[in-house]
Amino acid sequence: MKFLATLIFTFSTLFSATYFSLDDVTSLHLHMLNKVEFMDEKQKDTLKKDIISKLKKAGFKFGEVDSAAFIIKIKSIEIEDGEVVHISVSLGEDVIVSRKDEIDVFSFTYYTDDLIEADEPYEETIDALNSLISKFINAYEDDN
């Protein structure tokens, strides 16, 4: 039985960028949690617009009912020579879990993150975030 499960997992990961499933995800609602002091509201708004633009270019729609929650979280702590920044990109959706009974739950169906030590926190955070967004788009394209 273990061999069969290993074989199935191996073949399923060959055809997917991640072990998450982004099949048929078309509509997103962006939530951005900015817990850093080096980014003001204007920069945050500009960043949100840029991210939405990239995701729209990839084929995603925004503003529809029952959209999946596309969540970006940015946190940092100051260190001697700069800051350590943690950036995460995730997708949360309502899913039905099959257990004894079907249970409707909110679940993260995609997650990736990066931890960077930044001398120029704003610029390096933008670079890391752009990389994570590209990773998400590539995974989406691979799954669809």
Count the Cβ atoms, other than its own, within 10 Å of residue 1. 5
Number of domains in the chain: 1
pLDDT value, residue 17: 47
pLDDT value, residue 131: 96
Mean pLDDT value across the chain: 85
Residues spanned by the domain of 86: 2-143
pLDDT of 117 higher than 50: yes
Mean pLDDT to the nearest integer, 96-103: 82
Count the Cβ atoms, other than its own, within 10 Å of residue 90. 19
Structure confidence by residue, pLDDT tens digits, 48-98: 999 999 999 999 999 888 889 999 999 999 888 778 999 999 999 988 888
SS3 assignment, position 83: strand
Q: Are 104 and 25 in contact (CB under 8 A)?
A: no
Instruction: Look at strands 27-35 and 68-79 and give their pairing.
Output: parallel
pLDDT value, residue 98: 81
pLDDT value, residue 108: 87
Dihedral-angle region of residue 24 (phi above 0 means left; psi in -120 to 50 means alpha; beta otherwise): left
The whole-model pTM stands at: 0.80
* CATH number of the domain within which 107 lies: 3.30.160
Q: Are 67 and 49 in contact (CB under 8 A)?
A: no
pLDDT value, residue 18: 53
Lay out the sheet containing 68-79: strands in order across: 61-62, 27-35, 68-79, 82-98, 102-118
